Chain A
Amino acid sequence: MSGFNKVVTNYDEALDGLTDDMTLIVGGFGLCGIPEGLIAKIKQLGVHGLTCVSNNAGVDGFGLGLLLEDKQIRKMIASYVGENALFEKQLLSGELEVELTPQGTLAEKMRAGGAGIPAFFTPAGYGTPIAEGKEEREFNGKMHILEESITGEFALVKAWKADTMGNLVYRKTAMNFNPMAATAGKITVAEVEEIVEAGELDPNHIHTPGIYVNRVIKGTFEKRIEQLTLKK
């Protein structure tokens, strides 16, 4: 079974092969369900010219915001980037390129990319600035635009539990973009809270089958909360 053992024990091994100018698909929504240790390691590795595909760009000093500090991200594909002063600065100075994409379209670009579907029609964005230059077509009396799918050299995801064979289970809304991201990477690395032996996860309850996952590493997570809101 050693051919199916996906567990790696250090971050160098987890990100082996990551070089400048690659496209990374990164799971997470805001700071929820992000591969914290993998992102920190990318900062340490110092690779540059990255294209990062992720719903958000982190905050100053945490999440993908860490990679802005040394200008490692050249292009960001995201649906909402409002939480980050450094991002704003690099965007206005032209050091950083951003491609804003509707959230559902972004999720579907990852899902379709991972599923071998190169493009798809969606009604989202028809008649808006994001439709510019895209093919339009009417289906069932409604206008749609053609959106191209996304894959990356690496996909970095965060899961709750993995088994040694790379089967993944997510927890609550920390699932978000992670299942689609996991399918869209040529090399998919899962950073998880707990690794169990193969056979310990109920096959009925696995969210991402191990076929999509190349490497699994056990991380430690700060799980920073972006908007702590308590009942009054």
Chain B
Amino acid sequence: MALTREQLAQRVAQELRDGFYVNLGIGIPTLVANYVPEGIDVMLQSENGLLGMGEFPTEETVDPDLINAGKQTVTTVTGASYFSSADSFAMIRGGNVDLTVLGAFEVDQNGNIASWMIPGKLVKGMGGAMDLVASAQNIVVTMTHANKKGESKLLKECTLPLTGAGCIKKIVSDLAYIEIHDGKFHLIERAPGVSVEEIVSKTAGELVVPDNVPEMRF
């Protein structure tokens, strides 16, 4: 069975380590915050200018001056700090964020990512995605393996305008955990009950399949 949105978030959360500063994108990446493993402390960075983002507020604690990068009202955790957007991207470009999680339309076998623009449709903007992918050392892309028409999103070469070049090394899709190196996709884990054949058939780029592909564990 393909992973649900919640299971995707749960699998990505296994990449968290104690003491990590983490930037989570909008959508499924945001859900990762709900599955931080027991005994692990992470600080969430929100690129508008907040380190130490907490849960959503109650009606009593809501504050219009306190929002996240998705413009949602949030709270802070102990040890939080506020700073300017220039400082925020200084810490991102400077390589201080330990893990960045974001979604994508397409990723190719050379680690290129397209996530912001579909020609012919209205372009809303890249927000902070280009800065994030260009600089972060440890990026996890989480997305469905194929689009709604069943077409692979793991390609030989991205067809859409890029967000960043040669920057993606890890993908958690609803079918598999895949790493990218040497210009190829490498199958590392498969979703429980999903066959290697299905993953191969839904991967348009070159995929290296080892003899043994373990199932993800939750």
What residues make up the interface of A, taking CB atoms closer than 8 Å to B? 29-33, 55, 78-82, 88, 91-92, 100, 102-108, 110-111, 122-130, 143, 160, 170-180, 207, 223-232
Contact A81 B125 (CB under 8 A): yes
Contact B131 A88 (CB under 8 A): no
Q: Please pick, from A30, A102, A172, the residue contacting B71 in the complex, using a CB distance under 8 A.
A: A30
B122 contacts partner chain A, Cβ-Cβ < 8 Å = yes
Name 16 interchain pairs, CB-CB below 8 A, sorted by A.
A30-B71, A31-B71, A102-B128, A104-B93, A108-B89, A124-B131, A127-B162, A127-B164, A175-B83, A178-B84, A179-B84, A180-B86, A224-B64, A228-B73, A229-B56, A229-B73
Contact A127 B65 (CB under 8 A): no
Contact A29 B73 (CB under 8 A): no
Contact A111 B165 (CB under 8 A): no
Contact A230 B166 (CB under 8 A): no
- B residues near A177, Cβ cutoff 8 Å: 84-85
**Extra 17 A-B pairs, beta carbons < 8 Å, given A100-B125, A173-B49:** A29-B71, A32-B67, A82-B124, A102-B127, A104-B130, A108-B89, A125-B134, A128-B130, A128-B161, A128-B162, A171-B65, A172-B50, A226-B71, A230-B58, A230-B62, A231-B56, A232-B56
Rounded to whole angstroms, the CA-CA distance of A92 and B123 in the bound complex is 11
Contact B128 A128 (CB under 8 A): no
- A residues near B126, Cβ cutoff 8 Å: 79-80, 100, 102-103, 130
- A residues near B68, Cβ cutoff 8 Å: 173
**Contact A179/B131 with A30-B67, A79-B125, A82-B125 known, Cβ cut-off 8 Å:** no
Q: Tell me the chain B residues, 17-72 only, with Cβ under 8 Å from chain A.
A: 46-50, 55-59, 62-68, 70-72
**Contact A231/B58 with A32-B71, A100-B125, A102-B126 known, Cβ cut-off 8 Å:** yes
Q: Please pick, from B46, B73, B86, the residue contacting A110 in the complex, using a CB distance under 8 A.
A: B86
Main secondary structure of the interface of B (DSSP, over half): loop
Rounded to whole angstroms, the CA-CA distance of A126 and B46 in the bound complex is 23
- B residues near A102, Cβ cutoff 8 Å: 126-131
Rounded to whole angstroms, the CA-CA distance of A176 and B50 in the bound complex is 9
Chain B nearest CB, measured from A139 CB (Å): 12
B96 contacts partner chain A, Cβ-Cβ < 8 Å = no
Chain A nearest CB, measured from B7 CB (Å): 20
What are the interface flags for B172-194 relative to A under an 8 Å C-beta threshold, 1 for contact and 0 otherwise?
A: 00000000000000000000000
Closest residue of chain A to B129, judged by CB?
A102
Q: Please pick, from B57, B64, B161, the residue contacting A129 in the complex, using a CB distance under 8 A.
A: B161
Q: What range describes how many residues of B lie at the interface? A: 35 or more
Contact A173 B128 (CB under 8 A): no
- B residues near A105, Cβ cutoff 8 Å: 130-131
- B residues near A106, Cβ cutoff 8 Å: 85
Contact B134 A32 (CB under 8 A): no
Central interface residue in B55, B64, B89, by most chain A CB within 10 Å: B64
Chain A nearest CB, measured from B92 CB (Å): 6
Rounded to whole angstroms, the CA-CA distance of A122 and B89 in the bound complex is 11
**Contact A29/B163 with A108-B86, A172-B65, A180-B84 known, Cβ cut-off 8 Å:** no
Contact A104 B124 (CB under 8 A): no
Rounded to whole angstroms, the CA-CA distance of A107 and B164 in the bound complex is 19
- A residues near B50, Cβ cutoff 8 Å: 172-173
Contact A172 B128 (CB under 8 A): no
- B residues near A127, Cβ cutoff 8 Å: 112, 162, 164-166
Q: Tell me the chain B residues, 129-179 only, with Cβ under 8 Å from chain A.
A: 129-131, 134-135, 161-166
